[in-house]
Amino acid sequence: MNELERLEAMLRAQPASLTIEQRRAASDALGDLFPLAADVCVEQVEAHGVQAEWTSTPVASTSEVILYLHSGGYVWGSLKSHRHLVSELGRTATMRTLALDYRRAPEFPFPHALEDAVSGYRFLLDSGFKPRQIAVAGDSAGAGLAVALLVRLKELGTQQPACALLLSPWADMTATADSYSRNAKRDPVLNREIMQFLAEQYLGKRSRETPLASPVFADLSGIAPLTIFVGATEALLDDAVALTRAAGLADVSVRLEIWPKMFHVWPTYHQVLAQGRQGVARAGRLLREAVEAASSGEG
């Protein structure tokens, strides 16, 4: 087996019937499996009431920042589970990162995570960063939350950040996309059943088409430029395609990259997967280019 096949086999071997607490523990275990590079600096901070942490490497500029929103279906995932990914994304973008430990469902259902994302963005503004110096990024549910954040900032009359990077975005909580069936045997991570469960934890009795939870149904006009990465074997492939279409029809600048043979949020495994390293490097480069373009556009 090659490294991709070994990793997919490991992911398929994960037990399907875990409790929420067991899944939270398993997610946090990624932080132990993939340790930080020795030159990464981590600093805990409270971002307007939200627990968060800065990470930086020696190459990081102090004048730009990535606001990162982790995955986990709004139910699991944490600063610990994503620290290795966030710090390396910051390295390749030559930017500091601020990752948010937003409140999770079912203890804190919609819209708590979104409220925390808004607080994190305002914290950066109040810390002296200009909107054009801020990039928003996230993976899976965190990517959907990133788009919801942009829409909510527009509603609040707050200036948009320079851009948003979305890794394998979960953008439609109806879980009706054809790729759930089409890629059912190919996706080693997600399936329709688990996504329906997560949507129930986050939204409860609310409509699965709630725009600030399922941003494919939101008015995306006027939001920041989007860059979307998705794997060709993902159950969420059609979410990324639908989000790209919705953004394009709303006259939003959007780039979609479909990576052949890749599974859900493959850059998470950059320490053991060549395509993961390539994904992090490319994502960081595109973030850097977008922030520089935003800065030059404002003179």
Catalytic sites, residue numbers: 140, 234, 264
How many Å apart are CA 276 and CA 134, to the nearest integer? 24
SS3 state of residue 165: strand
Q: How many CB atoms lie within 10 A of CB 297?
A: 9
Sign of CA dihedral 32, 275, 170, 144: positive
SS3 state of residue 42: strand
Which residues, other chains included, contact 113 with Cβ-Cβ below 8 Å and sequence gap of 6+? 74, 102, 103, 104, 105, 145, 202
Six token digits for residue 228: 């979307």
CA-only gyration radius of the chain, Å:
17
Pairing, β 41-47 against β 50-56: antiparallel
Pairing, β 50-56 against β 61-69: unpaired
Q: Residues 200, 191, 273, 137: what is their CA dihedral angle, to the nearest 10 degrees?
A: -30
